[in-house]
Amino acid sequence: MINNAGILRDGLLVKVKDGEVVGKMSEADFDAVINVNLKGVFNCTQAIVPIMIKQGYGRIINASSVVGLYGNFGQTNYVASKAGVIGMTKVWAREFGKRGVTVNAVAPGFIATDMTKGMPEKILAGMVERTPVGRMGQPQDVAAAYLFLASDEASFINGHVLGVDGGVVVGT
């Protein structure tokens, strides 16, 4: 099973101008991201893992993000959700490993998807500049990581967070 849903509702926790609070992240935006990105992973895993345990085999792969490892400006809700996914991955790896079910996470960096298409060109160029391999990732880069973690070749990998980020965490 691949838990791969995710949404963004970026914004500053508190926006300050001239020493005054002029805005803040809404509770609705915070809740929406947590509900899809974190609670969705919880709900889907809780629904499928009994079947995997019964059959004595399973692979659960959770979509996290490099920002779940190092944070990102203006993404309190998104970072919290993706860091939470990493935490759940590690707990479930311990809970289910002896039952034949491995649980891992993939932490993509800047991937050329619909989520990044709407970003300003200047921001995208900065992302590429900070990425040691000098390009944005492609969806097939992430798919290859999922395919490997789902395979029998990854049977001894459990509780791991695999960065698919072109080295961006190294360059951070």
Domain boundaries, the chain: 2-171
Is the confidence at residue 164, as pLDDT, over 60?
Answer: yes
- Give the confidence band of 113 by pLDDT, cuts at 50, 70, 90: confident
Distance CA 15, CA 22 (A): 6
Distance CA 158, CA 160 (A): 5
Look at phi and psi of residue 113 and say left if phi exceeds 0, alpha if psi is from -120 to 50, else beta.
beta
Average pLDDT over every residue of 13-31: 95
Distance CA 111, CA 91 (A): 27
Q: What are phi and psi of 24, to 5 degrees?
A: -160, 160
% of the chain exceeding 70 in pLDDT: 98
Q: At what angle do helices 27-34 and 76-96 cross, to 10 degrees?
A: 30
pTM for this model (two decimals)? 0.91
Would residue 146 show up in a list of annotated catalytic residues for this protein? no
Rg (C-alpha) for the chain, rounded Å, is 17
Burial of 36 (0-12, 13-18, 19+ CB in 10 A): middle
Q: Which of 57, 70, 78, 146 is catalytic?
A: 78
Q: Which CATH number fits domain 2-171: 3.30.450.20, 3.40.718.10, 3.40.50.300, 3.40.50.720?
A: 3.40.50.720
